[in-house]
Amino acid sequence: MRRAFRSRAVGATVLALVLVTAACSSGDDAKDGPTITVGSTNFGEQLILGEIYASVLEDAGYPVERAFNLGSREVVNPALKSGDIDLLAEYTGTLLTFEGGAPTTDSAATHAALQSQIAGSGLVALAFSPAQVKNGFVVTAETAQTLGVSKVSDLAQHNGTLTLGGPPECPERELCLPGLQSVYGLDFAGFEPLDVGGALTVAALEGGEIDVALLFTSDGVIAAKGFVLLEDDGNLQPAENIVPVTTSEIIDAYGSDLRDLLDSVSAKITTAELSELNKRYTLDAEDPETLAGEWLEANGF
């Protein structure tokens, strides 16, 4: 069992991948309790969301550490369950699937199923955000026009001729290559392992190295580059509302004040705002700390 008050160290499997920044609270607002280590996976949106939640907690007097850019869900999920991190911005449908559940396109139902699915693991899913960040399959405007595609199902007319690009884990993820095969009957000529909706994927799509790219629906680069987001007409992708997931230990230690604070932040995150933050991070090279600080101030935190 973990001690309620402890000196935190990221576990051995994570240590080589993480840069932890500590911040100590002082003064009358300082909270007495366990340090909250806020984690993130390894792409820009996660860094921004992690910084938003870490900063608002810090400003409210909670002791906070940051453990960002840890890697994929296969890394951060065990870290959360083992107590190496205490808070993570997750996505309802993807996490529910990862935990063995079956998400739907209904946000509330998917969130309720997630809460039930993780109840015995010591994790707590807080209120979900209106922002949804789903996997999206994208082509260039030229490809869309040449091939006459606007929906994912249209790609089946070109089976055996197109190359898909996405994160290395795509061939094993049900919402990626296996789902495209089972739901849409797609047969790609090849798959290029790139990054998680990042610069490598964008460059490969622009350069013609791949024909179809997996990007996130909140990615500002889609509009900025004139890419075409194909309609998920087979409903492969479930509800994917942003949701902070923490541990029962942290909730027990700090109670409703912490829950209410994080819920109030989540309630104000919209897909459009997140897309703009992602654009500024990816295309304008603004750092997550600046973006998070400006967003929090603009939204009254």
Per-residue confidence band for 28, with pLDDT thresholds at 50, 70 and 90: low
Asked if pLDDT for residue 21 goes beyond 60, the answer is no
Mean pLDDT calculated for residue range 192-209: 93
Mean pLDDT calculated for residue range 170-198: 94
Percent of the chain at pLDDT exceeding 70: 91
* Backbone dihedral region for residue 226 (phi beyond 0: left; psi -120 to 50: alpha; all else: beta): left
Q: From CA 73, how far away is CA 95, in angstroms rounded?
A: 9
Asked if pLDDT for residue 15 goes beyond 60, the answer is no
Instruction: State the sign of the Cα–Cα–Cα–Cα dihedral 101, 78, 129, 291.
Output: negative
Asked if pLDDT for residue 16 goes beyond 70, the answer is no
Structure token pair of residue 237:
């992708």
* Burial label, 56 (beta-carbon count in 10 A; 0-12, 13-18, 19+): buried
Crossing angle (nearest 10°) for helices 271-282 and 44-59: 110
- Sheet of 163-166, strand order: 190-193, 163-166, 212-216, 135-139, 228-229
Query: Given the DSSP bridges, would you call strands 163-166 and 190-193 parallel, antiparallel or unpaired?
Result: parallel
Mean pLDDT calculated for residue range 74-102: 95
Mean pLDDT across the chain: 89
Q: From CA 196, how far away is CA 190, in angstroms rounded?
A: 18
Parts of the chain belonging to CATH 3.40.190.120: 135-229
The torsion angles phi and psi of 193, rounded to 5 degrees, stand at: -75, 120
Parts of the chain belonging to CATH 3.40.190.10: 12-132+240-298
Percent of the chain at pLDDT exceeding 90: 75
Superfamily of 135-229 according to CATH: Osmoprotection protein (prox); domain 2 (3.40.190.120)
Summarised one tens digit per residue, pLDDT across range 96-138 is: 999 999 999 899 999 999 999 999 899 999 999 999 888 899 9
12-132+240-298 — its CATH code?
Answer: 3.40.190.10
